[in-house]
Amino acid sequence: MSITRNVRVRFAPSPTGALHIGGVRTALFNWLFARHHKGTFILRIEDTDQTRSTDESIKVILDSMKWLGLDWDEGPFRQTERMDIYREHVDRLLKLGKAYYCYCTPEELEARRKEAMAAGKPPKYDRKCRSLKTPIEGRTPAVRFLSSDEGQTIVRDLIRGAVTFENQQLDDLIIQRSDGFPTYNFAVVVDDVTMSISHVIRGDDHLNNTPRQIQLYEALGYDPPEFAHLPMILGSDKTKLSKRHGATAVTEYISLGYLPEALVNYLSRLGWSSGDQEIFSRQELIEKFALDSVGKAPSVFNPEKLVWLNHHYIQQADLNRLSELLLDLLKKDGAVTEGNEPDREWLKTLVKILTERSHTLVEMKTGALPFLLDGITMDEKAKAKHLTPDVAPLLSELTARLRSVDPFTHTEIETVFNALVAEKGIKLGKLAQPVRVALTGGTVSPGIFAVIEVMGKEKTVKRIEAAICSL
């Protein structure tokens, strides 16, 4: 595919809620396409639905975009600030005789639709108002586009190829509602053309809207942009992904402890691929992204693979960055209070030993808690299994020896353990597991020597002694 035009693409969400996975994927593909072709990425807020649009949603969407690193070059534009432009275009079609006023009420339309259905005809607008010469008193009209009912409209889609629609199937769609607001299909055309959009990349739920939009472009005397309709993202039951499939909003993934690069990498591979490669840096994504390697079939969202990628990116992430992210989570949890923050270098060593078994930042936070809180939450089953009365002498001996370890580091601690284990003729596990439970409250943690080193001599000794006392 050769891109000859100056690439200008847009992402146009409706601010009726949070930014969802499907929207992110659309935004991401537009962004990648723009960056790959050194084009322009435009953000447009489609807020003509006054009843459902909120400023709060706009804020959430912008914040999510920023978190994902999807920066835009122009905008955000809001449709509600462009009402004059839409009216101007409606007037133009009216003057050209390509649009007409329609006084039918929703109730009338519904009744006639049912009639048509009952008679076995397609429920298409019957053009009752088309030949109307005088306005109907007491009614505010909507404006309908006079569409052609002969021939075909062919959508040349960059992903689907040529898709043919019989014009006969298309009815005269409303372009301006009686309340004066433009309808979606009209506003989108006017916006895309006035913003010089070169490629419309959007979900394929809009494919059926495209022929009527093409007719509008033509009626208005504009060249249509290129189109690329992306396959949908489905839930595990293969229906369109929605809230009932679990977490779908970007904000949820943030609070679940995901890294933006994991989400970006995962979503880029949903419906797109480049050979066998699974892991892509942002730069690689920009370099390799192409619309002709986007698949046609819808894809099922698989949270487990996202977890795997998140784990991968946690291993790759800079320790300073992870420390700050972890700190934020700990503060939200109340585990760390303002002015009582842990030493950053110490926190980094803690993060370092936790990353390997953290699939999410939330998991990391859970693992960090025993190191930060004064007390631990004891898992009773673990206690019953490993902290039995007979280990008390062994633990006493260990604390006595740990007290004199200096410097209190991994290797020195390991030496103490090995010596004690050798003297008693037991396996390391017999000592390590009880200590692990005493220190963390559970049976799962990083390596025991690392745990002890990071926890520090004082806390270690205190906890083991507390455990002994409880036996």
Partner RNA sequence: GGUCCCAUCGUCUAGCGGCCUAGGACGCUGGCCUCUCACGCCGGAGACACGGGUUCGAUCCCCGUUGGGACCA
Asked whether position 158 contacts RNA by CB under 7 A, the answer is: no
Q: Which of 113, 282, 288, 401 binds RNA (CB under 7 A)?
A: 113
Applying CB under 7 A, what is the total number of residues that bind RNA?
A: 59
Q: Which of 165, 186, 227, 253 binds RNA (CB under 7 A)?
A: 165
Of 300 and 471, nearer to RNA (C-beta) is 300
CA distance 242 to 234: 8
| 361-372 vs 319-333: helix crossing angle, rounded to 10 | 70
Give Cβ neighbours of residue 90 (< 8 Å, ≥ 6 apart): 99, 143, 175, 176, 182, 186
The torsion angles phi and psi of 454, rounded to 5 degrees, stand at -70, -35
Asked whether position 446 contacts RNA by CB under 7 A, the answer is: yes
Tell me the CA distances in angstroms from 105 to 74, 112, 178, 281, one per residue in order. 39, 11, 10, 54
Judged by CB under 7 A, the stretch of 130-138, 161-169, 333-341, 457-465 that binds RNA is 161-169
**For residue 167, which of 103, 104, 124, 223 has the smallest C-alpha distance?**
124
CA distance 163 to 332: 51
Secondary structure of the chain: what % helix, strand, coil (to 5)?
Answer: 50, 10, 35
Helix (H) or strand (E) run with residue 157 in it: strand 152-157
Asked whether position 356 contacts RNA by CB under 7 A, the answer is: yes
Q: Nearest approach, Cβ of 224 to RNA (angstroms)? A: 17
Judged by CB under 7 A, the stretch of 282-290, 323-331, 444-452, 462-470 that binds RNA is 444-452
Q: Nearest approach, Cβ of 40 to RNA (angstroms)? A: 27
**Whether residue 243 lies in the annotated active site:** yes
Q: Nearest approach, Cβ of 468 to RNA (angstroms)? A: 19
Give the active site residue among 114, 121, 238, 243: 243
Asked whether position 198 contacts RNA by CB under 7 A, the answer is: no
Asked whether position 205 contacts RNA by CB under 7 A, the answer is: yes
The torsion angles phi and psi of 209, rounded to 5 degrees, stand at -80, -20
DSSP 1-31: ----SPPEEEE---SSSPPBHHHHHHHHHHH
Asked whether position 100 contacts RNA by CB under 7 A, the answer is: no
Asked whether position 160 contacts RNA by CB under 7 A, the answer is: yes
Asked whether position 429 contacts RNA by CB under 7 A, the answer is: yes
Of 50 and 164, nearer to RNA (C-beta) is 164
Asked whether position 316 contacts RNA by CB under 7 A, the answer is: no
Asked whether position 232 contacts RNA by CB under 7 A, the answer is: yes
Asked whether position 140 contacts RNA by CB under 7 A, the answer is: no
Of 44 and 311, nearer to RNA (C-beta) is 311
Binding mask 209-228 for RNA (x = CB under 7 A): x-------------------
Question: For residue 199, what is the DSSP state?
Answer: E
Asked whether position 436 contacts RNA by CB under 7 A, the answer is: yes
Judged by CB under 7 A, the stretch of 1-9, 192-200, 248-256, 266-274 that binds RNA is 266-274
Asked whether position 183 contacts RNA by CB under 7 A, the answer is: no
Q: How many CB atoms lie within 10 A of CB 97?
A: 9
CB 59 within 8 A of CB 19: no
Asked whether position 112 contacts RNA by CB under 7 A, the answer is: no
DSSP SS3 for 194: helix
CA distance 393 to 363: 34
Of 163 and 372, nearer to RNA (C-beta) is 163
Asked whether position 449 contacts RNA by CB under 7 A, the answer is: yes
Q: Nearest approach, Cβ of 1 to RNA (angstroms)? A: 11
Asked whether position 305 contacts RNA by CB under 7 A, the answer is: yes
Strands 99-102 and 142-145: antiparallel
Q: Nearest approach, Cβ of 276 to RNA (angstroms)? A: 4
- The torsion angle over the Cα atoms of residues 190, 192, 194 and 199, rounded to 10 degrees, is -150
Strands 40-45 and 8-11: parallel
Q: Nearest approach, Cβ of 52 to RNA (angstroms)? A: 15
29-32: long-range contacts, CB 8 A cutoff, minimum separation 24: 29/201, 29/230, 29/268, 29/272, 29/289, 29/294, 30/201, 31/70, 31/71, 32/268, 32/285, 32/286, 32/289
Binding site for RNA (CB under 7 A): 110, 113, 122-123, 160-161, 163-166, 169, 204-205, 207-209, 231-232, 234, 238-240, 269-273, 275-276, 278, 293, 295-300, 302, 304-305, 307-308, 311, 356-357, 427-429, 432-433, 436, 443-450
Indicate which residues carry an active-site annotation: 243
